[in-house]
């Protein structure tokens, strides 16, 4: 399962390599649909990409910083730089393809 992070450790978590961040909310239906996809990719790409989650209700400052107005929002960082984003449910193959392009 992907680690839930907050503003206290966000910057250090996204510094190195490819990091996929799922901005979610516990009350969000599409977020619940995305959770198993996120966990499967976390297992499949172990070591090649890191997967973390941000609960927007517990870390609203991060949601604001990255202009997250809809959940789920996925942001992909490479060595601390935002390189990709998507809003809403993303099928596993589509998300994996975006990550593979960065590897």
Q: Is residue 47 among the annotated active site residues?
A: no
Options 5, 28, 37, 71, the catalytic residue = 28
Q: Is residue 21 among the annotated active site residues?
A: no
Gap between the Cα atoms of 1 and 78, Å rounded: 21
Contact 98, 76 (CB under 8 A): yes
Options 5, 31, 34, 71, the catalytic residue = 31
Contact 34, 51 (CB under 8 A): no
**Which residues are identified as catalytic?**
28, 31
């Amino acid at each position: 399962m992907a680690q839930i992070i907050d503003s206290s450790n966000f910057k250090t978590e996204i510094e190195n390599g490819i990091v996929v961040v799922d901005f979610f909310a516990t009350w969000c239906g599409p977020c619940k649909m995305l959770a198993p996809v996120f966990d499967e990719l976390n297992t499949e790409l172990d070591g090649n990409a890191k997967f973390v989650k941000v609960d927007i209700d517990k870390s609203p400052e991060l949601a604001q910083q990255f202009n997250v107005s809809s959940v789920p929002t996925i942001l992909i960082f490479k060595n601390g730089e935002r390189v990709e984003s998507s809003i809403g449910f993303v099928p596993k193959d589509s998300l994996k393809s975006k990550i593979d392009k960065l590897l």
